[in-house]
């Protein structure tokens, strides 16, 4: 299987007009909106006996966002679910990381919309604890796009483009000496006349190898019901070289 091209770090890789992957990052640029998914804030637990501080992961993510703010016109950020890690509690790590994340975004005069995911039962409580009032929704519609976390089955929307998270897609490269490297990835596919974009987890500790053997192995009930593996395309990336453009599944050599 040959890699067709590489899009360099922080350059735009167009999926459809006005919707671009920002190469080497977990970010999708939809017109002037920066979209990301699956922050899983609080996954990096503080070591016992140490005072909780902002995690390295969130600090690195904010540095990347700042580069994007300086390079592109961004008016809003949307997080498509799983903002926090812990499903049944609120931790001090989540409070510290989320407050830092929101503060840094707001300092650049950008607003944030949070779409609820399956980890976000207590996201409203968490925002209250840190005295924040960001918008929280089940889904979001803008520019002929329907944004949802993807953790439950929802009706096909009227919008032409569907953007979800939940899957945490990654791609595993295998070397001649059996070495392996797993990279996070964007994934696209078609469902009828809809173009579906699956976002990687912004937290690179998470990653599920793609492609699945069958659509029943998707995590998302929506994709298990409607997914079309034959149209699936994978865009692995890392933060040093950018994004790798692999051919569609039905063009892969076996």
Tokens of 39: 């922050």
pLDDT at 254: 38
pLDDT at 2: 45
Task: Please tell me the CATH code under which domain 5-251 is placed.
Answer: 3.60.21
pLDDT at 50: 54
Map tokens 């299987």 to a residue.
1
Tokens of 21: 């992957």
DSSP SS3 for 236:
strand
Q: What's the pTM?
A: 0.92
Question: Which of 116, 205, 192 is closest to 158 using CA atoms?
Answer: 192
**Domain assignments of the chain as residue spans, ordered by start:** 5-251
Q: What is the pLDDT of residues 210-251, one digit of tens each?
A: 999 999 999 999 999 999 899 999 999 988 889 887 777 655
pLDDT at 251: 55
CB within 8 Å of 154: residues ≥ 6 apart: 139, 148, 222
CB within 8 Å of 134: residues ≥ 6 apart: 102, 111, 112, 113, 114, 127
Beta bridge partners of 184: 170
Question: Which of 13, 42, 211 is closest to 130 using CA atoms?
Answer: 42
pLDDT at 1: 42
Count the helix, strand and coil residues of the chain and give each as a percent rounded to the nearest 5. 20, 30, 50
Residues in the chain predicted with pLDDT less than 50, given as ranges, are 1-2, 46-47, 253-254
């Amino acid at each position: 299987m040959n890699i067709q091209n590489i899009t360099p770090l922080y350059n735009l890789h167009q999926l459809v007009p006005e919707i671009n992957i920002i190469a080497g990052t977990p970010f999708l640029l939809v017109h002037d909106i920066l979209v990301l998914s699956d922050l899983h804030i609080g996954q990096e637990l503080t070591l016992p006996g140490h005072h909780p501080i902002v995690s390295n992961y969130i600090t690195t993510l904010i540095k990347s966002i700042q580069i994007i703010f300086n390079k592109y016109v961004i008016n809003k950020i949307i997080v498509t679910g799983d903002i926090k890690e812990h499903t049944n509690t609120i931790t001090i790590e989540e409070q510290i990381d989320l407050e830092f994340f929101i503060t840094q975004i707001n300092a650049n005069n950008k607003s944030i919309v949070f779409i609820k995911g399956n980890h976000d039962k207590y996201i409203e409580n968490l925002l209250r604890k840190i005295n924040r009032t960001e918008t929280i929704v089940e889904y979001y519609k803008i520019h002929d796009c329907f944004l949802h976390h993807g953790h439950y089955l929802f009706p096909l929307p009227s919008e032409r483009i569907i953007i979800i998270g939940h899957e945490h897609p990654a791609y595993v490269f295998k070397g001649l000496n059996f070495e392996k490297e797993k990279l996070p990835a964007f994934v696209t596919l078609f469902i009828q006349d809809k173009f579906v974009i699956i976002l990687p987890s912004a937290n690179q500790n998470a990653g599920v190898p793609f492609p699945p053997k069958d659509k029943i192995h998707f995590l998302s009930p929506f994709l298990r019901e409607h997914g079309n593996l034959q149209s699936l395309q994978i865009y692995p990336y890392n933060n040093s070289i950018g994004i790798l453009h692999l051919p569609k599944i039905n063009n892969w050599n076996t």
